[in-house]
Amino acid sequence: MKGLLHGIGAEAWGHDLAALCERVASTLGEPWPPEASRWAERLSRFYIPTRYPDAVPGGVPGQRYVRADAEAAGDDARSLLAAVDTAWSTLTREAG
């Protein structure tokens, strides 16, 4: 999403996918799927707790996240990547 934002001349700061997704949605409008915010919000929840062993109270991330979490996160990531690809394709067609 950062690359898409930079490509359309918008600012892209931070690592919060939900915030970046909101920026893309407000900048692009129609070519951006409304459900993308849901995908980004779910992925954003993984950012800190899965990276730092002391971020999960009373345990470690490996004890709190299961295969289903990883599979759902992968689905959300693939959906966001597809949305970015579609947005680029739409923008390229409009520019051409």
Domains of the chain: residue spans and CATH: 2-95 (1.20.120.330)
Determine if residue 14 is left, alpha or beta; phi over 0 gives left, psi from -120 to 50 gives alpha, anything else beta: left
Measured in degrees and rounded to the nearest 5, phi and psi for residue 7 equal -65, -30
H/E run at residue 81: helix 67-95
* Stated pTM of the model: 0.83
pLDDT in tens, the chain (96 residues): 999 999 888 999 998 999 999 999 999 887 789 999 999 999 998 888 888 878 877 777 777 888 999 999 999 999 999 999 999 888 877 766
pLDDT value, residue 48: 85
Which own/partner contact pairs does 3-8 have at CB distance under 8 Å and 24+ positions apart? Answer: 3/84, 4/84, 4/87, 4/88, 7/88, 7/91, 8/91
What pLDDT, on the 0 to 100 scale, is given for residue 28? 87
pLDDT of residue 43: 94
